[in-house]
Amino acid sequence: MHIIDRIIRPTAQETGAIIDRVALTWEQRQKSRQKLVTLQGCAIALALATGSQIRDGDLLPVPGGWIAVELALEDILFVRPRSPQELAFVAYQIGNRHLPLEIADQGLKTLYEPALESYFRQRGIAAERAQQSFTPMSATSGHRHP
């Protein structure tokens, strides 16, 4: 088992070959210590600095090359609000339940919750269960103090 203690953000300078890939869910990308299995079945362990976050396209160094990080498909609820008011209502309901939220091109995504899907449908809001990659907004995205 390879123990990985650092993440490489890809640049043109990385010359090693990508020898394997690992598909990670949003939750897995938040954990700095965990055991994983690559797409080729290789066991790896992450021992990253506390607070490390893994992103799509990151490279994990192993002897002989890199393991590339990909986004796993997740069970999500995709909501297509039809107006700014409906968008605000949906975003409020998701936030009020303390669920993660991704703002996508055509709507909003959150982790699938049957009760939330039912709630939106009862109110005539287009919501569908899907298998898609999921990268929600971070509470600290762009947050800075002077």
Domain architecture of the chain: domains with CATH: 2-71 (2.60.260.20), 74-132 (3.30.70.790)
CB 11 within 8 A of CB 35: no
**Could you tell me the pTM of the whole model?**
0.84
The reported pLDDT for the residue numbered 140 is 47
On the 0-12 / 13-18 / 19+ scale of CB atoms within 10 A, 79 is: buried
**108: amino acid identity, one letter:** L
CB 50 within 8 A of CB 60: no
The reported pLDDT for the residue numbered 11 is 75
Q: What is the pLDDT along the chain (146 residues), one digit of tens a residue?
A: 899 999 998 875 665 789 999 999 999 999 999 999 999 999 999 999 998 989 999 999 999 899 999 999 999 999 999 999 999 999 999 999 999 999 999 999 999 999 999 999 999 999 999 999 999 987 544 444 44
SS3 at position 86: helix
**Which strands, in side-by-side order, build the sheet including 107-111?**
102-104, 107-111, 74-80, 126-132
Per-residue buried b or exposed e for 46-63, using 16+ beta carbons within 10 Å of the residue's own CB: bebeeebebeeebbbbbe
**94: amino acid identity, one letter:** I
- Characterise 142 by phi-psi region: left (phi > 0), alpha (psi -120 to 50), beta (else): left
